[in-house]
Structure 1
Amino acid sequence: MFDAVLRRRLNGPLASVAGRIDRSWVTPDRLTVAGLVLGLASAALAAGQLWGWALLAWLLSRALDGLDGPLARRRTTGHGSPAGGFLDITADFIVYGAAVVGVAVGTVGASASLTDWLPFLAVLLAYYVNGTAFLAFSSIAERTGHRIDDGRSLNFLGGIAEGAETILVHAIWLLVPAYAPQVATVWAGVVGLSAAHRIIAGYRTLREPATESS
């Protein structure tokens, strides 16, 4: 929901940082992989109830995720590579899913009852539906000429729950793990609404005559 506004405000600072780290041995794909590793480390630290370290790893992971795109566009005259875009979105989905599992293990325990796991299972289900709608739209929009060109590799159909909200919510339950199940319950509902919105908006968009950008 806030991604478009934040991108406009952060484009300049992120491009500046990308310029400072633009060295031959620093590549966008390496930043993506480093963000993936830190994201998985955050999940493992959360599972071990090392909440402060998990939060630090989470924020560093997302910072690297925010830098790989600007660095890629800096090196490819404004557009990232298709392979890099594929790696980036795949890494994001892995990190988001692992983060939910890590927090669930750290707060309710691996041997907890199904009821205790339900809020986190609901988040994973909502992520699955939301991601399916997002990726299906991106693929079909590219093929049918309904492209949404905002400089990124994929056709991002906006939603209520986007990257900024996800980063914030995951940080909140690392800050206050005692309330993680309650946060997960609310977050599952928000992501579910976002998924419904994407399904409806995507269906309506694809029914319209194709244009090069929208």
Structure 2
Amino acid sequence: MLDAALRPRLARPLEALTALLDRPRITPDRLTVAGLVLGLASAVAAAFQLWIPALVLWLVSRVVDGLDGTLARRRAAARGEARGGTHAGGFLDIAADFVVYGATVVGVAIGAAAGGAPWWPFLLVLLVYYVNGTAFLAFSSIAERAGRRIDDGRSLSFLGGLAEATETIAVHALWLILPFWAAEIAVVWAVIVGVSATQRIVVGYRTLR
């Protein structure tokens, strides 16, 4: 819901950071892998109830994740190309995001359960993540074949919804800031993602009819 509003505001600081990182040995794909490793490290830290390190690793991983596409576009512009990045890079980025999101839910669940929290709210979050991801990935694939691609600069035809990347980053950070309320936050978040998944299914179906 907030992605469209925040992306233009974040563009300038991301471009400034990318300019500092634009070195031959640093590639968009390597940044994607770095974001993946940092995200997994955050999940491990959360599982051991190292909440502050987990929070720092989580936020840094998401910043790094935002730099890969910016670097790809910067280098494409320098070559005089209209679009940045490759299909392989886009695939790697999406796959890494899914791995990190799922791993951090599991990491927080383990850490919170060690403190007495129930497991089921986090299992519910994983279920709605699965449904939500299936909806927008299926739409992107079929829309591409049907000639109804939504081009907003990202690798996929992305259907907007109530829960997008910005909200996900914020909620995962909130778990790490308030781990004693992590289960309650997970229940509310599962409802929001479930509503978003339903919205994507309805809008996707109507768009492709």
| TM-score bracket, shorter-length normalisation | over 0.9
Task: State the shift of 1:19 in Å.
Answer: 1.9
Structure 2: distance between partners of 1:109 and 1:191? 25
Letter in 2 for 1:88: D
Question: Which of 113, 123, 126 is the aligned partner of 2:125?
Answer: 123
- Partner of 1:116, secondary structure, is coil
For residues 65-118 of structure 1, give each alpha carbon's deviation from its aligned partner in whole angstroms, at most 9, with x where no partner exists.
1111110111223332110000000000000000000000001139x7xx9211
Separation in 2, partners of 1:143, 1:74: 29
CA distance in 2, matches of 1:48, 1:17: 31
Matches of 1:4 and 1:95, distance apart in 2: 22
Measure, in 2, the Cα distance between the counterparts of 1:154 and 1:72: 16
Q: Which stretch of structure 1 is more off in the superposition, 49-58 or 19-28?
A: 19-28
Contact 1:39–1:57 (CA under 8 A) maintained in structure 2? yes
- 1:1-214 maps to which residues of 2 (within 5 A)? 1-76=1-76, 77=81, 78-109=83-114, 116-207=118-209
Question: What is the match of residue 212 of structure 1?
Answer: none
SS of 1:148's equivalent? coil
Deviating beyond 3 angstroms after TM superposition, the runs of 4 or more aligned structure 1 residues are none
The count of aligned residue pairs is 204
- The percent of aligned pairs where both chains have the same amino acid is 66
TM-score, structure 1 normalization: 0.92
- The letter of the residue matching 1:62 is R
Q: Deviations along 1:1-43, whole A, 9 cap, x unmatched?
A: 0001111111222122212211100100000000000000000
Q: TM-score if structure 2 supplies the norm length? A: 0.94
- Find the aligned partners of 1:36 and 1:186 in 2 and give their Cα distance: 26
Structure 1 unaligned runs (5+)?
A: 208-214
Q: CA RMSD in A?
A: 1.3
